[in-house]
Amino acid sequence: MNRRKFIENSALASSAVALLGTSCTTENTSAEDKFKLKPLTGGVSFINTKDREQRIEKAALLMQKHSIDAIFIESGTSLEYFAGIRWWPSERMTGLLLFSDASINYICPAFEQERLQELITVMGEVAIWQEHESPFALVAKLFKDKGYASGMLGIEENVRFFQSDGIASHLPQAIIINAKPITAGCRAIKTVKELALMKKANEITLEAYRYGFSNLKEGMSQYELGAIVTEASTALGATEAGWAGAMFGEYTAFPHGSKTAQQLKEGDLVLIDGGCKLGGYQADITRTTIFGKPTQRQLDIWNIVKEAQTAVYEQAKAGVPCEILDATARAIVGKYDFGGEYENFFHRVGHGIGMDFHEWEYLVKGNTTPMQPGMCFSNEPGIYIYGELGVRLEDCFYITENGYESFTPQSPSIENPI
């Protein structure tokens, strides 16, 4: 479990406790009824079987281009992306082999076959294995049966080691490589429909933040605020509420939050980072505001961070190496004596985003990958001073033929964050 997922789960658990103790009125009251918020999802078009079939066709063409005979994918967002199947990771292999002729073999335990069949919308053959049998040998057999015993097999990069190692042990003559040219080649470039889902997910998240900020009150905990925002996103139409990590005062210097219990007081900075999902696509927004009146130092640091975010946008265009955007933000922070490296700006300026919070590519020093139309990123510079404060502003954007488009407008001011 990665750090972001751990924080997300912790925030959700804490939010649930906070809701039980504070915001829930009756057991059967919906979030929409409770908050008097209406869904923002009218007219939204979700991903369908035709979209997934087009993805498989594109993957097949990329495999032919890269001389890859097949790719293996297990439980995770790539399985959902190509096949529309959500499956939990366990010690029992469930996944698919996608071949360069666009044919599919699904692999699952025999006792899960009926369950898998219920979920299949993109047609393919189902191969099963019994509890005493090796799923790795089954994958190898399917690969060999297509005539690829000494061919090239791509492994989706999030496949767990015991599975990739097990498959490789049964294909001693094959070439096993990273399937990133195929998976990222498809997933990193978003379609118009994907971009629309992401834009709407970000709009829902921002509106949930607006609602949360309108309910700030002295003495509330960070978990109460996170719970309000999370439940508001559901009322606004999110298909998955996601998470909302809230931080107050000096704990805003922890980029992903602190376990320390916090109670909001006059003069505290308030930082919320998180995002909901809509139709499988992720939003990611951070806003920093003030509860009360800002000090000059708080205001100055907030304005520096916004200047850095604006400068990043000015560099966002097709053909520009990813690392340039990180260097641009760091130069602004350094200009104001907060360090040009990681002294007070602890993390990269952005990451790719789509079905996962963090995807290809990363806006970080050393990544010379040129940005392409359809790629989506976060833009999130920050300044953090432990024991005092932290400020981060984050919006997501995508590259166009002529520059970029942001899913949400930049934060107007420290006192008017949305």
pLDDT digits (tens, 9 = 90+) for 373-402: 999 999 999 999 999 999 999 999 999 999
Q: Which residues of the chain have pLDDT under 50?
A: 1-28
Q: Which of 153, 172, 187 is at the close of a domain?
A: 187
pLDDT computed for residue 36 by the predictor? 84
CA distance 140 to 126: 15
Residue 24 lies in a domain: yes
Q: What is the pLDDT of residue 32?
A: 60
In a domain, 415, yes or no: no
Query: Same structural domain for residues 79 and 158?
Result: yes
The residue out of 187, 211, 246 marking a domain boundary is 187
Do 298 and 160 lie in one domain? The reply is no
Say yes or no: 71 and 210 in one domain: no
Residues 258 and 392 both lie in one domain: yes
Domain boundary among 137, 158, 187: 187
> Do 340 and 255 share a structural domain?
yes
Shared-domain flag, residues 220 and 329: yes
- The verdict on pTM exceeding 0.95 is no
pLDDT value of position 33 = 65
Specify the pLDDT at position 30: 58
Number of domains in the chain: 2
CATH number of the domain to which 145 belongs: 3.40.350.10
Residue 159 located in a structural domain: yes
Same domain, yes or no: 9 and 74:
no
Structural domain of 342 = 3-36+190-406
**Same structural domain, 25 and 151:** no
Question: Are 60 and 28 part of one and the same domain?
Answer: no
Question: Is 31 within a domain?
Answer: yes
Sequence-ordered list of residues with C-beta below 8 angstroms from that of 381, at least 6 positions apart, any chain? 305, 308, 309, 312, 329, 332, 333, 345, 349, 392, 393
Phi, psi of 104 (to 5 degrees): -130, 140
Specify the pLDDT at position 242: 82
- Residues 6 or more apart whose Cβ sits within 8 Å of residue 305: 288, 333, 381, 382, 383, 391, 392, 393
CATH of the domain at 342: 3.90.230.10
Task: Based on the fold, state whether residues 325 and 357 are members of the same structural domain.
Answer: yes
Q: Is residue 108 part of a domain?
A: yes
Q: Which pLDDT score, from 0 to 100, does residue 20 have?
A: 37
Shared domain check, 381 and 308: yes
Query: Does 332 share its domain with 304?
Result: yes
Q: Is residue 74 part of a domain?
A: yes
Using CA of residue 353, residue 31, residue 87, residue 1, what is the dihedral sign?
Answer: positive
